[in-house]
Structure 1
Amino acid sequence: MDSEQQPVRIVIVDDDQLVRMALRLVIEGEPDLAVVAEAADGDAAITVVAEQHPDVVLMDVRMPGRDGLSATRELLARPSPPNVLMLTTFDSDDLVLGALHAGALGFVLKDTPPARIIDAVRTVAEGNPVLSPVATARVIAAATGPRSAHVRRPSREAALNRLSTLTERELETARAIADGLGNPEIAERLRISVATVKAHTGNLFAKLDVENRVQIALLVRDAED
């Protein structure tokens, strides 16, 4: 890290004090990251974000009082909002789907290895989405299930029309994303480099007018139904 560059400012929001302590220990071991505040619920999160102006908020999905979804919606509706990375144990997948629609850049499971949490924080700080393969697969299952209330699914014909703009390789990449694969696994399946996978994924975002990998996967699932 450049010695003159300021560390990424982070607020941790979780009702479990042990979770907050563990996340702080992991994050503060990195010289380019700094935890500037903690909060135990959505209302407190809104207050400390207004005071501290962080770059990233690690937001628990389910908390007593105001939950993470409601707090995320309010934060992202304000001027110059932070980037939000959701924390979840996946006991409430619909809330995570709602958070993505509210504008959160992604989500990580609470039992994600520390190194991957750090990578996710850095990625979100740069304004890029984070959706791990395992988490993506579980959210897709929730989104396509009969009880999902947060996703308005297009018709099969509409999905096919959108996918028809893709090249063969881009379509193969989209299908691999729908299978919950990460970039290294996609590269191995398609026998291409990770850099090429990233290029194809960027093209998918632009051509399909989507914001994250879950939306790509949902289009593929809709086209195949």
Structure 2
Amino acid sequence: MRVLIADDHDLLRDTLVMYLEGQGGIETASVGNFADACARIAADDPYDLVLLDYNMPGMNGLAGLRTAIAMGTGQRVALISGEATRRIAEDALEAGAAGFVPKSLPAKSLINAVRFMAMGEQYAPIDFMTAVEEKVTNPLADKLTARELQVLQGLTEGKSNKEIARDLDIQEPTVKLHVKTLYRKVGAANRTQAAMIAREAGLY
């Protein structure tokens, strides 16, 4: 079984390699960013499973997942994350991910998950997927739709409309429309002001 691990945290990456190779029968390769992961997928013999960190450099979240899946070398691709929400996990599975693996998973469960996914099954821990998430109310967030909140987050990260459109897999004119609407809702005149309002409200 061949597994590629892509994560920008050296300690975590090395620990995963140690855990998996210690089981025997699992050959691993590891990289620290999405570009290197794509290069290895393209150049190496097919992997049974590719584990992508949701937040590593170049990943762009679900956009990176879709790119890796579409490379078409037969590999199965799963997300691993210490921060992603259940909604992100659900979206990843819907997009064709082999699974979603929280970084909080115990070592034995992680190894079992990797084997499970490499054999062609889809994996997500039941307790994570069924946990009741605390709903934190925020007066500013209550004014905006879910998509407007995603666009606003992109603004706070300094992204262009084109980058936000790519991350959310929507058209750039649609992003412009959302930006205009959320300006009106939050009382902002421009991108910088919208980002400042969001940060002051404790949204991001």
Given candidates 52, 69, 72, the residue that maps to 1:59 is: 52
- Cα 1:43–1:97 change in 2 (3 A) is farther
Query: In 2, Cα distance between the equivalents of 1:97 and 1:41?
Result: 23
Given candidates 31, 38, 42, the residue that maps to 1:50 is: 42
Please tell me whether the aligned partners of residues 86 and 128 of structure 2 are also in contact (alpha carbons under 8 angstroms).
no
Please tell me whether the aligned partners of residues 46 and 71 of structure 1 are also in contact (alpha carbons under 8 angstroms).
no
SS in 2 for 1:116: helix
Query: In 2, Cα distance between the equivalents of 1:93 and 1:148?
Result: 15
Query: In 1, Cα distance between the equivalents of 2:61 and 2:47?
Result: 16
- Cα 1:98–1:41 change in 2 (3 A) is farther
Given candidates 79, 90, 110, the residue that maps to 2:72 is: 79
Query: In 2, Cα distance between the equivalents of 1:107 and 1:95?
Result: 9
What whole-Å deviation, never above 9, does each CA across 1:71-118 have from its counterpart, x for those lacking one?
A: 220121132331122111134544433322221021111121111111
Give the fraction of aligned pairs with identical amino acids, expressed as a percent.
29
Determine the structure 2 residue equivalent to 1:130: 123
One-letter amino acid of the structure 1 residue matched with residue 9 of structure 2: D
Determine the structure 1 residue equivalent to 2:92: 99
Query: In 2, Cα distance between the equivalents of 1:27 and 1:116?
Result: 11
Given candidates 105, 111, 127, the residue that maps to 1:118 is: 111
Determine the structure 1 residue equivalent to 2:152: none
The 5 Å alignment of 1:170-209 reads none
Could you tell me how far 1:148 is from its partner in structure 2?
Answer: 5.4
Could you tell me how far 1:29 is from its partner in structure 2?
Answer: 0.4
Determine the structure 2 residue equivalent to 1:88: 81
What whole-Å deviation, never above 9, does each CA across 1:97-140 have from its counterpart, x for those lacking one?
A: 332222102111112111111100110011101111222124x8
Could you tell me how far 1:50 is from its partner in structure 2?
Answer: 1.2
- Cα 1:108–1:29 change in 2 (3 A) is same
Determine the structure 2 residue equivalent to 1:38: 30
Please tell me whether the aligned partners of residues 48 and 76 of structure 2 are also in contact (alpha carbons under 8 angstroms).
yes
Residue-pair matches, total = 138
Could you tell me how far 1:63 is from its partner in structure 2?
Answer: 1.5
The answer for unaligned runs of 5 or more in structure 1 is 1-7, 150-225
SS in 1 for 2:97: coil
Q: Which has the larger radius of gyration?
A: 2
Query: In 2, Cα distance between the equivalents of 1:31 and 1:91?
Result: 30
The answer for unaligned runs of 5 or more in structure 2 is 135-141, 148-204
- Cα 1:33–1:148 change in 2 (3 A) is farther
- Cα 1:114–1:13 change in 2 (3 A) is same
Instruction: State the Cα RMSD in Å.
Output: 2.4
Query: In 2, Cα distance between the equivalents of 1:61 and 1:50?
Result: 20
Please tell me whether the aligned partners of residues 94 and 148 of structure 1 are also in contact (alpha carbons under 8 angstroms).
no
Please tell me whether the aligned partners of residues 61 and 95 of structure 1 are also in contact (alpha carbons under 8 angstroms).
no
